[in-house]
Amino acid sequence: MITIVADAQRTAGGHWPVPEERRTVTVLFADIVGSTALVDRLDPEDVRALQRAYFDTVAGVLHRWHGVVEKYVGDAVMALFGARHSDGFDAYRAVRAGLEIQAALDRRPMVGGIGLRVRVGVATGEVVVDLGSAVSGGHGVASGAVITTAARLQEYAPPGAVALCAATARATAGLIAQRQLAPVPVAGRVPPGPVWHAVGPVRPSADRHDGPLIGRRRELATARDELTRAVREHNPRWVSLVGPTGSGRSRLLHELTRSLTTVDGEAVRWCVATCQPYPDQVLAPVADLLRRLAGIRHGDGPAMVRDRLTATLTPLLPPGRLAAAVSALERLLATPDGSAAALAGAAVCRDALLRLAARRPLIVAVDDLDRAAPAVSRFLHALFTAARARALPLAVVTLHQPHWVDTHPGPTRRVAVRPLATVQSGRLLRLLLTRAGQPVALVDRLLPLVGGRPGHAAAYVRSVVDGADPAALPLPDEVRRAVGAEVDRLDGEGRAVLMAAGALGGLVTDAAVDRGLGWTPGRSGPALRALVAAGLLIPRRAGYAFATPALRRVAAERLPRALRAVFAHRSADGAPLDAIHPDAVERTSAPDRPAAVSVDVPAPRTDATASAAHRADAPGSNVRRADVARPVTAAAEVVPLDAARSRTRHLDTVAAIPAVARPAASTHQAGPRRRLGAPAAAPPTRIGASTPVRRLRAAASAGDVPPARPATLAPARTGRPAAPTPPAGDRGPGVDPQPAPVRAVPAAPGSSGLRPTPRRGGLTVVRGAPGPARAVPRPPVLGPLDGLATSA
């Protein structure tokens, strides 16, 4: 009997501000063989009883494997795996469910002794999912070609078999034994597609760790010190190696077992077990610890198992207890299912480990403990507590992901397995590429994609070896599954904030996320901080950055096209930024400050704009050309001020703006308003404008500062004073000023500081001493997005 541990987060409902997502799901389609002939020869009451027994059996299996029944079509059943939550093993769970459906129908007696034979097809692909309807019985939950593929695949499965598509076969390789068939024609598709038949679950092979360890010196030293102290002081300790999938936790454990073999000249014994995804038996990791202790291999016969158990326990137990202990351990190895007999065997195994630790130092390690049932944690807790009571030289090492939380009955050291540094990631990529026979020059292409995770680096190198185009590398399937599982651990609101941040790209702020989602200002702040605590975002001075490039890509691609367009539109229509040098508001004097620079970026002229410009040029007109707003038809691109010059080679327009000599005398206004003057002379400064369809704006490369009161503009180059910007309250409700040219104002020598000088619909860029710039946003008036929640 297979026991599946339910995840409360996976089954609980929640609020979903983004109602639909593009997701990679696995679809299972099951159909009865010869159902038409069977129904024709049965009485309608017998048909109904047969259907009830069939549907109850199939639905029960699907529910235990966390599948969602999307619909019943006659005698066919279609189910989705990963429709609302994914753990990275959706395809594995679907195939296991298909195999179990076949076995369950073979065991269950039907009406009149009829034996039902079923064909099952399993396909994996991208769909659009209605999250609110992703519950059993919800029709029209998912839409995509993969649904049709699953229905076609079951036609190529023999009665009692499970057919797999190529994507499902790749996702379950190493976990499910498969047999590939010749390509078969699928309706509407050319050429014919390959098909695999699932044979049954297999035990994954151990990972190879034959290369040198790159980085991890601090983590390795910390863990070694804790384990050495536990052995030397006879003070048991619990060490947790914590990191996301692909961070290299297992590699670090392998290095510990290889390097920590003696303490003070005394040999250390290691017992290591790995928790497989959805094990057949809840105590399977405990049985693996016993096999490692006794040197038993999978596939050893009963006689070999008994001999090895007897040899292991003879020095540890008195002769009168030996026979009973061996029998109990044999039952544990045969069926570690959590029954009373299995629990009795686990107790004997625990006693044997304690007795072994009394004779020589012992370290018990369990990898991927977050996959195990609670019974495994209880076993480790009892072992650790008993070792502390007896002051034994024993330590427990557990490996799990950051989201998994467990209480420990004693001293615990949590060792975070963090991303590799850039230099270390480059060394790892060079090593992997060299061993794979690929050009080392690909390091420059792959380095920005791996995000410091060794698992991601290995996945990208494998994709290159498999023939992926290095110029446009797709996200490897294993990386997408692992990162998607990280996203799906969030609640609906957290996922919405993460996806909105992914769609915005670059550094994001809470104001930008609120604007994209149509939320009230400040609502996304707690969610962003929670994402930082979860290790998904990294706080920066000017906003938040994604922990890995793959995470940003997965989050952005989850959004349907319509929502991406809305977010992009709202981001483009955001308020202008008044850029201030970060030191401008603190310094009291800056005699060597270089001249400030501004540039008029050409914008497309419309008939209305041209007419206004003509009136401005007319004699006697009171309309000034500087006050004519020019509309922009494309989104404004936000770039860092310091990076503007480096992009001039990509820009279509380069303007040379000579500074205008101004009188040196420049007075400051009383109070917060200040007048910005210019030095007597300044060398010409060049700054590039962006492409004709974009408008260059200042980037927020530092933290936001409170908006300053509008200051009086310095005299323009024509010698005429510029009109001050009216206060925000004087503007009409809902009016978003049109963008105007960016004006240059020179900085006065000896001025005590600089203030932003906003113009109606425009932008003033103030350049002072070298350093980043601060940006003050003026949020536009936006309406809520249809389909998105506007309040908590």
Q: Which pLDDT value is given to residue 599?
A: 37
52, exposed or middle or buried, with CB in 10 Å at 0-12, 13-18, 19+? exposed
The alpha carbon dihedral of 698, 700, 701, 705 has a sign of: positive
**How far is it, in rounded angstroms, from Cα 705 to Cα 369?**
45
What token pair was written down for 617?
């040029």
Model pTM score: 0.70
Tell me, what DSSP letter sits at residue 104?
A: H
The alpha carbon dihedral of 424, 427, 433, 438 has a sign of: positive
What token pair was written down for 585?
């508001």
Q: Which pLDDT value is given to residue 186?
A: 65
What token pair was written down for 320?
């009168």
Work out the angle between the directed axes of helices 492-504 and 549-557 (0-180°, nearest 10).
Answer: 110
Q: Which pLDDT value is given to residue 575?
A: 40
In whole angstroms, how far apart are CA 162 and each of 92, 176, 218?
12, 11, 48
Q: Say how many C-beta atoms besides its own lie within 10 A of residue 437's C-beta.
A: 7
**How far is it, in rounded angstroms, from Cα 625 to Cα 642?**
30
Q: Which pLDDT value is given to residue 191?
A: 63
Mean pLDDT, consecutive 10-residue stretches, the chain (792 aa), reads: 44 63 94 81 84 90 92 87 92 96 86 81 93 66 89 89 94 93 69 86 80 91 96 95 94 94 94 90 93 91 94 93 95 92 95 95 96 94 96 96 84 91 95 94 94 94 92 92 93 90 88 90 93 93 92 93 84 47 34 38 41 44 41 40 41 38 41 42 42 40 41 42 44 42 44 42 42 45 39 30
Q: Say how many C-beta atoms besides its own lie within 10 A of residue 735's C-beta.
A: 10
User: Which residues touch 250 (CB under 8 Å, ≥6 apart)?
Assistant: 207, 209, 274, 367, 399
Q: Regarding beta strands 742-743 and 763-764, do their DSSP bridges make them parallel or antiparallel, or are they unpaired?
A: parallel
**How far is it, in rounded angstroms, from Cα 86 to Cα 127?**
14
Beta strand residue intervals within 160-257, DSSP E: 162-164, 176-180, 196-201, 237-242
8 A C-beta contact, residue 59 and residue 94: no
Three-class secondary structure assignment of 238-297: EEEEECCCCCCHHHHHHHHHHHCCEECCEECEEEEEECCCCCCCCCHHHHHHHHHHHCCC
Nearest to 17 by CA among 727, 741, 678, 516: 516
What secondary structure does DSSP assign to 756-769, as a single string?
----TT-EEB---S
Q: Which pLDDT value is given to residue 44?
A: 86
Work out the angle between the directed axes of helices 340-359 and 319-334 (0-180°, nearest 10).
Answer: 130
Q: Which pLDDT value is given to residue 787?
A: 40
Q: Which pLDDT value is given to residue 386?
A: 96
**How far is it, in rounded angstroms, from Cα 746 to Cα 308?**
87
Q: Which pLDDT value is given to residue 136?
A: 60
